[in-house]
Amino acid sequence: MAATQAKVAIVMGSTSDKERIAPCKIYLDHFGIQADEFVLSAHRTPDKTAEFARSAAGEGYQILIGAAGMAAHLAGALAAHSHLPVIGVPLPGSHLNGVEALYSTVQMPKGVPVATVAIGSAGAANAAVLAAQILALNDTEIRDKVIEFKRRGCSL
The predicted-structure confidence for 116-139, as pLDDT tens digits, reads as follows: 999 999 999 999 999 999 999 999
CA-to-CA distance for 71 and 44, rounded, in angstroms? Answer: 12
Residue 26 has pLDDT above 90, yes or no: yes
User: Which backbone phi and psi does 44 adopt, to 5 degrees?
Assistant: -85, -35
Domain with residue 79: its CATH number is 3.40.50.1970
Mean pLDDT, rounded, of the chain: 95
- The size of the chain, in residues, is 156
1 located within any domain = no
Residue 92 has pLDDT above 60, yes or no: yes
- H-state helical runs in the chain: 18-30, 46-55, 74-80, 99-106, 121-136, 140-151
154 located within any domain = no
CA-to-CA distance for 76 and 62, rounded, in angstroms? Answer: 17
CA-to-CA distance for 2 and 86, rounded, in angstroms? Answer: 22
Please indicate, yes or no, whether the overall pTM of this predicted structure exceeds 0.75.
Answer: yes
Q: What is the pLDDT of residue 71?
A: 87
156 located within any domain = no
CA neighbours within 13 Å on the CB side: how many for 144?
6
Residue 75 has pLDDT above 80, yes or no: yes
Q: What is the pLDDT of residue 155?
A: 85
Q: How many domains does the chain have?
A: 1
Edge-to-edge order in the sheet of strand 63-69: 34-39, 7-12, 63-69, 86-91, 115-116
Q: What is the pLDDT of residue 135?
A: 98
The parent domain of residue 46 ranges over 7-149
Q: Identify the band that residue 156 occupies on the pLDDT scale cut at 50, 70 and 90.
A: confident
The predicted-structure confidence for 9-18, as pLDDT tens digits, reads as follows: 999 999 999 9
Burial class (CB in 10 A: 0-12, 13-18, 19+), 138: middle
Amino acid letter, 87? I
